[in-house]
């Protein structure tokens, strides 16, 4: 039987890029992407970001989505747990705001993982 070539110490295609996400980074990015994997949550994040001061009351978020308040609250909780929104209780209503730097951190985390190709 013919002998198959064996890859050298650099692997069959060359060395792996050291900028690839480690497990902790991949877990954090996946958690955020999972939170954004629902169109209603993307829309909620967009609505909050578009408001003056990047803040909105939960009472103002049900109509644009056409969803019941408990469903909207569930989606908002997922965005809060993912670190994208902050929640502040003011009397009867909850207000949600963008976590400063959350979106830019997500973008930066992705940019670090994508190599730049020069032709």
Assigned token pair, 14: 């060359």
Number of domains, the chain: 1
Percentage of the chain beyond pLDDT 70 is 76
116: in domain: no
Assigned token pair, 21: 């996400």
State the residue range of the domain holding 69: 23-106
112: in domain: no
pLDDT at 114 over 80: no
Q: Which helix (H) or strand (E) holds 88?
A: strand 85-90
What are 96's strand-pairing partners?
Answer: 56, 87
42: in domain: yes
What is the CATH classification number for the domain harbouring 61?
1.10.10.10
pLDDT in tens, 26-61: 888 888 899 999 999 999 999 999 998 889 999 899
95: in domain: yes
Task: Summarize the confidence of residues 12-25 as an average pLDDT.
Answer: 71
Angle ∠(79,44,42) on CA atoms, nearest 5: 75
71: in domain: yes
45: in domain: yes
């Amino acid at each position: 039987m013919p002998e198959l070539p064996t890859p050298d110490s650099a692997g069959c295609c060359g060395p792996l890029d050291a900028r690839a996400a480690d497990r902790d980074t991949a877990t954090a990015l996946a958690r955020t992407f999972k939170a954004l994997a629902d169109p209603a949550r993307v829309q909620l994040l967009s609505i909050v970001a578009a408001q003056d001061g990047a803040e909105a009351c939960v009472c103002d978020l049900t109509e644009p989505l056409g969803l019941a308040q408990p469903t909207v609250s569930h989606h908002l909780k997922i965005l809060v747990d993912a670190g994208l929104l902050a929640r502040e209780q003011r009397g009867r209503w909850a207000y949600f705001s963008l976590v400063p730097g959350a979106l830019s951190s997500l973008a930066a985390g992705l940019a670090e993982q994508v190599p730049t190709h020069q032709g």
